[in-house]
Structure 1
């Protein structure tokens, strides 16, 4: 029949697969297409939130209008998570730049979002954040999500500090990216012991308070633009790829850079 809506006739599993390639904001908009589409978005196993979708570059960040944009962003994430109830999350991505509002350390919205996401046993977790001040801590639950296979954490502000979870238990984690953290010996030891399946590790612009990286399963190690405080011994028998770009601990000496890439 001419003009037939064949897409809407597809099974929900196919429709949710199609919507998984959209951002969550775009997926939610499909509810307006027809009654058939009203609740399909709520079953999409991918949640992708980006503050850039709500930010206007033409309005100064200090204005009340930008505060309203940020509050709207938080409200939408809260509403989406509440609407999904116990629907499984396969991938969760949050890119939150230009956080013009200063949240209390223990009152940041991330502290209510992460527990929900962890309960849904995601495979992939990606957090890119730009808090106003150094009052944001990655919730400890992030480091005990047993279903995770890939994780990317980056907090762009002045040095965030070293994560200090009491426990790291990520048995299925294969890929890990950490950006702009202080990496202490205690945290690195917990990380490598708590991630027995880890194959790829990338540290980006981190301050490294460690003297050794020792791991039996790691195949790829990238240390990109980091600031080591001492020499680091790498003891990784299974390593196949190594890339190192380090900068002087004296942040003013930008020219003091060492770069090395090896295929082993």
Structure 2
């Protein structure tokens, strides 16, 4: 029947093109490419057949960052389909830190390839459930302000880790230092990136070393005395980048030759607070002992090829003491592939960037194209 004058034609309801797709297409292709937050939101706002569809979507990237309803986090993780994708939990209120191990337990059973958990500190909540993660699936592990108890008997380690990042992590086992060494050694065939910052042990730290011959990136933020890190890092022939802050190397005038030669293959090197003489210009006196670490590095430069591959060199918060300046001059002289040497001055340094730059005028360069600059805040010379 034709519409009468003045009336509007009836419009057919738009077809739901997605509703006709098989569920395996919806969950495996359409929704699987979205972050978990968007998948759940799409399901909630869609028609009834979609309401719980997100619970069947595999490989979801779960990102819980400062969410409002932390009390419902466990239920959400429990209903995620296995396997999950990357799992990231951050912004947790201190009042909910005690639930962290429950969350890890729910995630561990879903074979995550990547797990990142950051908690407020202190306290460092223990995570015994971490060892329930599939050791063949976990390729990336990042923990901040967490605690690790001793692994269960028979646990052979996370053998597929490519990235390990431990920041302000406490190892609660009686031999926590040995546990950390074994954890790194178990990943030796695959580990490429390692970051250790402010590692602590329940008891006295023993002597441990880094055993990761395929390591490419290394970041250390440790007090070498209290952490127990051995002066022998082991052989790191593939190391390309190293950022090292070992703030008490010189307290016992120890020999750090092996530690330094482990860095000899790097193309990019960042050093900070490695020389206690950094503070002599401001806080020291004539009886303050001269640090040995700079002297050891100076001896190694021409003989051990410490900087044979070095292209980028950074020093953080230095005072441009005589030791600092002598070391910089030797870096510039022996690093034949050097492209940039950048030094960041300590805020209380008695020298200005101009004063420091003048000391290097006319020095011989191993790489004529090398750029050398001194920074102080936003000012660079």
Question: Structure 1 residue 74 and structure 2 residue 64: aligned?
Answer: no
Question: What corresponds to 1:50 in structure 2?
Answer: 64
Following the alignment from structure 2 to structure 1, what is the Cα–Cα distance between the partners of residues 274 and 170?
A: 19
User: Would the aligned equivalents of 1:143 and 1:170 in 2 still touch at CA under 8 Å?
Assistant: no
Where does structure 1 differ by over 6 angstroms across 4 or more consecutive aligned residues? Answer: 260-264
The question of 1:35 aligning with 2:48 is answered: yes
Decide whether the 8 Å contact of 1:200 with 1:220 is kept in 2. Answer: yes
Which deviations, in whole Å up to 9, do the C-alpha atoms of 1:224-256 show, x marking residues without a partner?
A: 433332653222355242312214159xxxx72
For 1:89 and 1:9, the matched residues in 2 are separated by: 26
Q: TM-score, normalised by structure 2?
A: 0.50
Displacement of 1:134 after TM fit?
Answer: 1.0
Residue 159 (structure 2) pairs with residue 171 (structure 1): yes
Corresponding residue for 2:245? 246
CA distance in 2, matches of 1:38, 1:148: 30
Using the TM superposition, give the Cα deviation of residue 200 of structure 1 relative to its aligned residue in structure 2, in angstroms.
Answer: 1.5
Question: Who is 1:236 aligned against?
Answer: 235
Distance (Å, rounded) in 2 between the aligned partners of 1:127 and 1:204:
15
TM-score, normalised via structure 1 length = 0.68
Aligned residue number for residue 120 of structure 2: 130
Matched residue SS, 1:245: strand
RCO comparison, higher one (Cα < 8 Å, 6+): 1
Partner of 2:273: 256
Whether the aligned pair in 1 keeps the contact of 2:221 and 2:246 (CA below 8 Å) is yes
**Contact 1:92 1:117 (8 Å CA) reproduced:** no
Residues 224, 193 of structure 1: alpha-carbon distance in 2 compared, 3 angstrom cutoff: closer
Between the aligned partners of 1:29 and 1:81, the Cα distance in structure 2 is 15
Give the equivalent residue in structure 1 for 2:190: 198
Q: 1:189-228 residue pairs with structure 2 within 5 A? A: 189-207=181-199, 210-216=207-213, 218-228=214-224
Unaligned runs of 5+ in 2: 1-11, 250-271, 276-305, 312-381
Gaps of 5+ in 1: 55-71
What do the CA deviations read for 1:10-33 (whole angstroms, capped 9, x no partner)? 444454344345443332122231
CA RMSD of aligned residues (A): 3.7
Q: Structure 2 matches for 1:96-175, cutoff 5 A?
A: 96-101=90-95, 108-130=98-120, 133-142=122-131, 145-156=134-145, 163-166=149-152, 167-175=155-163
SS state at 1:176 partner: strand
Render the CA deviation track for 1:128-178: whole Å, top value 9, x for unaligned.
2225x315012254365223232222224xxx5665324442232233222
